[in-house]
Amino acid sequence: MNKIEHIGIAVKDLEKSNELFAALFGKPHYKTEEVESEGVKTSFFQLGPNKVELLEGTNENSPISKFIEKKGEGVHHIAFAVDDILSEVARLKEAGFIVLNETPKKGADNKLVVFLHPKSTNGVLIELCQEIG
């Protein structure tokens, strides 16, 4: 596993939160992207080598909408960059971690992503992501 690629934050209103985090970071987000299969709208801020991803659910069945319903807005996941997502998945399964989707799916920001169940990682939802070459 390499660096922290981004931290994902669940928000109720992406437009408002874009303004809030732009004020916090002193610079605007550099892109927005909708991932329809996941029912989310996202925006990204670049901070040195790391990013912050804001996520808003686009329907009530979206994992983000459900998360906010249960826990309120806040940190949703931490994403780590990996070079070879399939070998990392194999390694982590071997080590006893619970992989939520063994087949990597296409996430935002041109990435293949796999999530680990927070139950197996001290309550933290972990995303592995590999840049799609």
Phi-psi region of 123 (alpha: psi -120 to 50; beta: other; left: phi over 0): left
The residue sitting closest to Zn ion, measured at its beta carbon, is 8
> Nearer to Zn ion by C-beta: 48 or 96?
48
Choose the stretch contacting Zn ion; rule: CB under 5 A; options: 14-22, 30-38, 48-56, 91-99.
Answer: 48-56
Of 11-19, 22-30, 86-94, 122-130: span binding Zn ion (CB under 5 A): 122-130
**57 counts as binding Zn ion under rule CB under 5 A:** no
Q: Which residue is listed with tokens 């992207």?
A: 33
Mind giving me the DSSP string for 56-102?
Answer: EESSTTSHHHHHHHHH-SEEEEEEEE-S-HHHHHHHHHHTTPPBS-S
CB of 112 to Zn ion, least distance (A): 12
Tell me, rounded to whole angstroms, the distance of Cα 115 from its chain centroid.
9
- Say how far apart CA 24 and CA 2 lie, in whole Å: 26
What is the nearest approach in angstroms of Zn ion to the Cβ of residue 15? Answer: 19
d(CA 77, CA 7): 6
Interface pick for Zn ion out of 14, 68, 79, 92 (rule CB under 5 A): 79
Compare residues 92 and 126 and give the one whose CB is closer to Zn ion.
Answer: 126
Interface residues with Zn ion (CB under 5 A) are 8, 53, 79, 127
